[in-house]
Amino acid sequence: MTLEDSVRRHGGMVVRIARIFMGYSTNSLASDLGISHSQLSCIETGKRSISTLQRLYRSAKALGLSPDDFGTFALELDANDQGSDLADFYQQLNNQRLPEDAFDYARGDSIRIV
């Protein structure tokens, strides 16, 4: 699979995980990217892919990632076809902890609110 294919297939999940990790709301990130909340939601859920290289660069920059890191995360998802390794990799790269259950939320799994 090529980098372009990986970004098209998993770019939305990368955006969602990074957005949650960085503490951005969908509204604030959408505003930073110059797109609507609903467009960002469609990207994050995979209903719409990141359509242009320019949008990829803007997405990565807004999330504090280099475009290379963004692509690496997407490739990691393809290699493992699951996101736990991506979350671990992102955590190691930033030397920080993801909020508990962030990956489950990013996959769309239900989360128990305590």
Asked, for residue 113, whether it belongs to a domain, the answer is no
Note the pLDDT tens digit of each residue in 16-50. Answer: 888 888 888 889 989 988 889 999 889 888 888 87
Answer left, alpha or beta for residue 49, where phi above 0 means left and psi between -120 and 50 means alpha: beta
- Phi, psi at 83, each rounded to 5°: -100, -5
Crossing angle, helix 53-62 and helix 26-33, to 10 degrees? 130
Amino acid code (one letter) for 44 = E
Instruction: Residue 48: give its domain's CATH number.
Output: 1.10.260.40
Number of domains in the chain: 1
Q: Answer whether residue 37 is part of any domain.
A: yes
Pick the more confident residue, 24 or 53.
24
Q: Report pLDDT for 92.
A: 57
